[in-house]
Chains A and B, each alone.
Chain A
């Protein structure tokens, strides 16, 4: 039995299982009930946690943009999100004419579910995780695909051309940015030799952000795009397509998309800390698992904060820029990094195995760092010309003194055959 103070989650799980076993239930049923209860607690917990996230996002956003942020309801405006939630509960569901009822109502649920399903495999501490699937990383990618589906469903079922156009645009962006995202996920898998998320955390004696910085950067950028936040918030271009795929939703259904959005931002930060920052690892986390939870939350909060800084400080990309960044920059660099890392890591593995473990780790880190630097150098050299080329003709007229009269327009000469 784990100690309560060092491992409260493990203690509670054990206590609950022992309680049910004490009632004389068979082992299989106990496990089933434990999974159901665990899933329920995780989902409810994450949804309540979302209230805090909304507050944090608005407050940080306010500070970044030199505003106050919410500051009326409760201390520091902490209860503002609760007030908003209650308000949105009381709103009427407006179901437009001609919508496809079932699909229309299913889409917001799917968009939240696609995010919460990710929580099932995230290792919060060494002992506390939903299920350490042996295909954990693939699971992350697969579940991420459900979010695309929910957007398509929302856009199509709304019976509104702007919603449909918004859905097209959103899905085009999501599918495109899935490519570099998945390729960058390959590197932690390759370096740790496992797709289990807990194994990946365990393998990070040196966090993978050091040994695979390119992959980390690409994961960070493309995860912002996957989330559809600024500078990649093209899917809600108010001026062009009203508001995007969710334009026909109201009340709580509209709120669901936003719950999914806020939660997704935090979940992605959590995944980043698991995959590249060593998750729950830190001094003493093996003996005292609750410390691991603290480390993980600190790392996640840093990544979340960085994501928010990016969101609130950068302007929106144009759609062609957005596609160029993906297909001409991120995808080739990610592919190059995967190939170079695979080659170098395999080629030097035998040599490093003959040295002492500590020296081996240091040398491997240095070699991989140099490899990443080489990839980046080659990439910038090759892509310099592509990226600096002007993609678009300058539309504005040449600057000229305001007071000077324009030269008179040349008389239009009648062309042959034209009857005047």
Chain B
């Protein structure tokens, strides 16, 4: 009972802050609301006893990505001012896309039997070890894992290339 009430509160907070991400007038506020929404998702993971995902959600999304977003927001000009119009020109395209995605997810999840099932057993702590060894197992996820790391490396190299002042260049 307590858990259900807490779940509803967390869910409402997450959804409301997700709405504020879009409707907030200041970019910085949108970023902070985003942090709250992501934190709500982390709490939901914690409710599911998926402690690894809860912690990684905080670590990656709040600790790294949200900070980067805030940095990017703060380095944009006139961040202290109220911004202009809230809507861009092709807003209805985005609306259609998001609506289609939502309906698709709803249709896909509508037939899922997991909703009717009661709470399952607590996840085995050994699953975390399993996850770790699967990530480096060549027959399982080693190749996707490595491909992802190459992608990140490419992004790093690209960022350095853009940021570096080219020595011995025209200047």
Binding site for B on A (CB under 8 A): 28-29, 32, 100, 103, 133-135, 138-139, 141-146, 148-149, 152-153, 156, 159, 164, 168, 171, 175, 195
Contact = CB atoms under 8 A, between A and B. Distances in A.
B67 A141 contact: no
Nearest to A103: B32
Contact of B74 (A144, A145, A164): A164
Nearest to A131: B51
Contacts, number: 66
A63 to B, nearest CB: 38
A142 to B, nearest CB: 4
Contacts of A171: 67, 71
| Most chain B C-beta atoms within 10 Å of own C-beta, residue among A28, A100, A138, A153 | A138
B59 interface: yes
Contact of B62 (A28, A134, A145): A145
Which 7 pairs from chain A and chain B are nearest by CB? A145-B63, A142-B59, A142-B58, A138-B55, A134-B125, A135-B55, A142-B55
Interface in B27-57: 28-29, 32, 35, 51-52, 55-56
Given A139-B55, A145-B59, A145-B62, A153 B32 contact: yes
B13 interface: no
Interface of B: 2, 28-29, 32, 35, 51-52, 55-56, 58-59, 62-64, 66-67, 70-71, 74, 80, 125, 128
Contacts of A148: 63, 67
B33 to A, nearest CB: 11
Contacts of A28: 2
A226 to B, nearest CB: 13
B59 A138 contact: yes
Nearest to B63: A145
A148 B32 CA distance: 13
B62 A146 contact: yes
Contacts of A134: 51-52, 125, 128
A389 to B, nearest CB: 16
28 contacts: A32-B2, A100-B29, A103-B28, A103-B29, A134-B52, A134-B125, A134-B128, A135-B52, A135-B128, A138-B52, A138-B56, A138-B59, A141-B59, A141-B63, A142-B56, A145-B59, A145-B62, A145-B64, A145-B67, A146-B58, A146-B62, A146-B63, A148-B63, A148-B67, A152-B67, A152-B70, A152-B71, A159-B80
Contacts of B51: 133-135
Contacts of A168: 71, 74
Contacts of A133: 51, 55
A239 to B, nearest CB: 24
Contacts of B52: 134-135, 138
A156 B55 CA distance: 26
